[in-house]
Structure 1
Amino acid sequence: MLAHHAVQRGEERNRALGVWGAMGAAGGATGMILGGILTAALGWEWIFFINLPIGLGAAIAAPGLLPADSSSETGKKLDLAGALTITLALGLLIFALNSSEQASFPIGLFLGLLAVAGILLVAFVVIERRTSQPLVAFRLFRLPGVTGANLAALLLNAIIASELFFTTLYLQQVLGLSALATGIAFLPNSALVLVGSALASRLVNRFGAGLTLAAGALILGVSAFLLSGVTAGGSYLINVMPGFTLTGLGLGLTFVALTISATSGVEERDQGLASGVVNTAIQLGSGVGIAAVVAVALALSQTSSGSMSARLVASYATGYLIDMVLALLIAVLALLLVHRHSRR
């Protein structure tokens, strides 16, 4: 949101978003290595503890580093009913999807949780339409490009979260890499995110956000297909590095393009809201997406035979193929909704 307000519209803003995406990739690369070091030296708990000093430092530094928003409105109230309703709905949905992976989890309880989550989601929509200061203003979704970009954000982060999950497990549980070695193995992916983010702003300026988003999604589809070739006796260089590195390029292109698309054509008064909505979609894609993809992958691979390692790898391969389908859906959304209505 700050990138949108600090820089004017057009090519300059697109370049700023490219830099923002590149910094995110750099942070991801650093986090993977640091996470491996902390896990190896102090234990996995420290990957959570380390966020406390980082968060406090950022909070202290923010007032001096970030410009004040002189246009901020006063007198706004928190939509508490909407916040509680959507939080409970998503919490129940994620819990149900995660619990469904356990063979002993009652099917009746699973369906009941899904039903309650659905009712709460409907209640959230009703609340948001009636309140004077909603968390989500549904007028944003009258713009097809904004709707397409947010749906793409959901699917994109379902892909990225599940690929990180499957690839981490494959490297550590099947190939036997340590936490630190796994973090280092992810570096080519992060390097290509930097490249993709830098290219994205130029491609958007030349071809538009929709085509750039579609191109990145197709690259993600190819990378997921390559990763689906993992085997119990595979290797990092052959079975992981080509596909997972290519994932970084696709992520860099798609992330910047959909962020631009999510705020294109939006009135200035709604820019902050549009930025908040797409970031919420990103977080939902990670939380709900990984639970859904893993649950479906496990269900589809239950009939696989062989050793435990072979069955695990079969579920990973199925998950990658699901990610390939999701990537193709993003490409379709980009062409049908974003490209037709995109504004540079």
Structure 2
Amino acid sequence: MLYLIAHVQVSFGDNYEKKLSSVVRVSVNDSIDGIGARCEITCPLNARIEKDGGTPFIAPVRTAFKTGDKVRVKAWYDDYRERTLFEGYVYQIREGTPSTIVCEDQVYLLRRGILNKVWNKPVKLKEILQYVCSSQGVEVSDDVADVEFIKFSIKDSSPLYVLQQIKSEMWLVVTFRDKKLVATGISATKGNNVKLASDRNVIGCNIQQPDGVWKQFKLKVEYTDNNGKKKSFTVGDQEGQIRVVDCTSVTKENAESFVNTHVLDNLRTGMYEGTLTTLLYPEVKLFSLVDYKDKSFSSLNGTYKVKRVGVTIDTQGCRQTLTLAQIASDMPVPQTTLSNG
């Protein structure tokens, strides 16, 4: 198979002054399923290092890198502009033959520190996130769901643990875009617009109808009324798969708006979902809107939201794998049914 040779530059250090000259493989993964992007750099046990343009030297990986080092990975083809695939920090070093340097983006910073904080009066989610992230110098995006908690407490928790709890309990996409934290529904977060076509810039397509129709969900939302009594309501497709969302710490009105706008958005997809594989270009980021045209199967044509971006560069060239879901333009308006808890 013909492929283009991808040049890779791995820079590290406070000012990215050192460069790793011997790279076997680079793999970058950024997905809405987790918090933050991860990069794995495979190199020889004794790495070849260049510093400030000087003569390269050989050093064991354990002495050349240390946890917390800043790392930047760039890649390009001849006569093409450089792409920054990853910026972050060394998280872990796995020595071996070869060795692997595991890196994380801003999420690495949020592993540090222990937080304790109590809000005994109503507080917005964005205020909570700003408190959590500011402890480590991480910024919060404007893409944050409009949720107000009746009260909220953090006890002996790392910033990352707090984010993981919010993500799992509130069914939100919590991750980073342009080094800023987002916490919202997938459609509410904007990305770049990209055009892909099976006869132009796509080398592999595995998009299918998982269930014949787009997935359906029925959510049971538990909340607390003004008298302190627990109640619930359902929203979504009454015949769909049931999920329980705990909103007992937010008002009923806020819970209903939040669930309709963000939770259903993250669960439901269009009629088609799957993967597209491209080369290094065009650049596609998490949350991008992809306008896809398939020359052989016109039923796959449509607009898709990117839920995962994986880039791998090795001796076989570069592959960019996009996991995406079609945006359904004719989804029915969700139905809400109230009930006593």
TM-score (norm 2): 0.23
User: Over alpha carbons, which structure has the higher Rg?
Assistant: 2
TM-score (norm 1): 0.23
Higher RCO (CA 8 Å, separation ≥ 6 residues): 1
